[in-house]
Amino acid sequence: MLAFLARRLAAAVLLLFVISFLSFLLLSLAQVDVARQLLGLQASASAVAHENAALGLDRPLLARYADWLGSAVRGNLGTSWFTGQDVAQTIGQRLPVTLSLVLATTVVTAIASLALGLWAGTRRGVADRIVQILGVAGYALPGFLVTLLIVVVFGVDLKWFPATGYIPITRSFTGWLSTITLPTLALSLGAVAGLSQQVRSAVAAVAAQDYVRTLRARGLSGRSVVLKHVLRGACAPALTVLGLQFVGLLGGAVVVEDIFALPGIGAMTVADTSDGDVPVIMALVMVSVIGVVLINLAVDLLIGLLNPKARLT
């Protein structure tokens, strides 16, 4: 177990290193004259050169990367070139918004998909058809279009929930709930569409296993076999898909936060990356990739917990 964790951790560190270097390289290749942008067109060439030196842009790429890496591992992500704000601090303020959105979506997606998948996989017939249609619809319609529809229907037309804005959970739980419900719904629909299909086929596959019949032959009720054995067997493939979807969820969060005006990481990605602010972009890329790495690790650990055979590796 410890060896497994160590191996995974090493792989994650390597991945972060590679991605950070590639991102840094690409960002440096860009022909963006930051100092010129900062100082304006009237600034003298010497002022621009001076500003470049102040930002450290006159030094070689590898030295700059080493500097960035050195402070990043100590938790210092630098300051924004344009606003002068501390990047780590800004992200610290915005991360809880995105995290609460993504976590709520993950929980809703997992529960709804399990319920729908179990229903379709064990009942077949009409239930199967309904879940199938939901899957097609959820996959066929672009996420942001569905989000807009939700805003129009529930926010503008019915006025059940506010169409925009965010109230932190620390200030008011009900307020948080009312502002997070529509974004969560918008983000979950597509994910549920995909995941419920996976759960359905996993459930159908497990339900056809010999051991399910044998357990029922010993007098256990179909319901208890499904809830205990079929669900457990179907969880591992479902979790794998949930992990894969998380990557898409991060992208979806960008759009959803933009539409609902949530002050999260996603909205920040849209707003603050337009001008080549390298410290900010690097931080955002790193935060997203760390999120993906952590989720994948959590999925692997959970699968190991659920399936004793997978524990060995």
Partner 1 sequence: MRAPSPRSPLRAVLRNPLGAGSAAVLLLVLAAVLLAPVLRPGGAQSSNILDAYDGAAAGHPFGFDGAGRDELAMLLYGGRATLGEAGLALLIALILGLPLGLCAGYFAGRFDAVGSWAVNLVMALPGMVVLLAARAVLGPTTVVLMVVLGVLIAPSFFRLARGVAADLRGELFIDAARVAGLPAWRILTRHVLVAVRAPVLIQASLVAGVAIGMQAALGFLGISTGVSAPSWGGMLSDAYTSIYTHPILMLWPGLALGLTTAALLLLAVALRDALEDRPGQASARRTRRPEPVRVVPTPAAAAGPARAAARSPLLSIRGLTVAYAGPQGAEREVVHGVDLDVRPGEVLGLVGESGSGKTQTALSVLGLLPLGGRITGGSVLIDGAETVGADERALRRLRGGVVGYVPQEPMSNLDPCFTIGSQLAEPLRAVLGLGRREAAARVLDLLRAVEIADPARVARSYPHEISGGMAQRVLIAGAVSCEPRLLVADEPTTALDVSVQAEILDLLRRLQQDQNLGLLLVTHNLGVVADLCDRVAVMRAGAIVETGEARQILHAPEHEHTRALLDAVLDDAPVRAPWQARPTRSVA
| Cβ distance to partner 1 smaller for residue 4 or 144 | 144
Q: Which stretch binds partner 1 (CB under 8 A): 56-64, 83-91, 102-110, 219-227?
A: 219-227
Bridge partners (DSSP) of residue 86 are: 79
Q: Which of 5, 18, 62, 66 is the binder for partner 1 (CB under 8 A)?
A: 18
Residues 71-110 contacting partner 1, CB under 8 A = none
Residue 148 in contact with partner 1, rule: CB under 8 A? yes
Residue 279, classified by CB atoms within 10 Å of its CB into exposed (0-12), middle (13-18) or buried (19+), is buried
What is the nearest approach in angstroms of partner 1 to the Cβ of residue 276?
5
Q: Find all residues with CB under 8 Å of 189, minimum gap 6, and list them.
A: 138, 143, 146, 150
Residue 55, classified by CB atoms within 10 Å of its CB into exposed (0-12), middle (13-18) or buried (19+), is middle
User: Could you tell me if 187 and 101 are in contact, meaning their C-beta atoms sit under 8 angstroms apart?
Assistant: yes
Residue 159 in contact with partner 1, rule: CB under 8 A? no
DSSP secondary structure string for all residues of 70-137: HHHHTT---B-TTT--BHHHHHHHHHHHHHHHHHHHHHHHHHHHHHHHHHHHHH-HHHHHHHHHHHHH
Residue 199 in contact with partner 1, rule: CB under 8 A? no
Q: Which of 57, 292, 297, 298 is the binder for partner 1 (CB under 8 A)?
A: 292
Residues 31-70 contacting partner 1, CB under 8 A = 32
| Cβ distance to partner 1 smaller for residue 108 or 293 | 293
Residue 56 falls in which region: left (phi positive, over 0), alpha (psi -120 to 50) or beta: left
Interface mask toward partner 1 for 222-251; x: CB under 8 A: x-x---xx--xx----------x--xx-xx
Q: How many CB atoms are closer than 10 A to CB 30?
A: 10
| Cβ distance to partner 1 smaller for residue 141 or 177 | 141
Q: How open is the CA angle 114-120-122, to the nearest 5 degrees? A: 95
Residue 172 in contact with partner 1, rule: CB under 8 A? no
Q: Which of 39, 55, 302, 306 is the binder for partner 1 (CB under 8 A)?
A: 306
What is the nearest approach in angstroms of partner 1 to the Cβ of residue 229?
5
Residue 23 in contact with partner 1, rule: CB under 8 A? yes
Residue 258 in contact with partner 1, rule: CB under 8 A? yes
| Cβ distance to partner 1 smaller for residue 138 or 180 | 138
Count of residues that bind partner 1 according to CB under 8 A: 75
Residue 262 in contact with partner 1, rule: CB under 8 A? no
Phi, psi of 303 (to 5 degrees): -65, -40
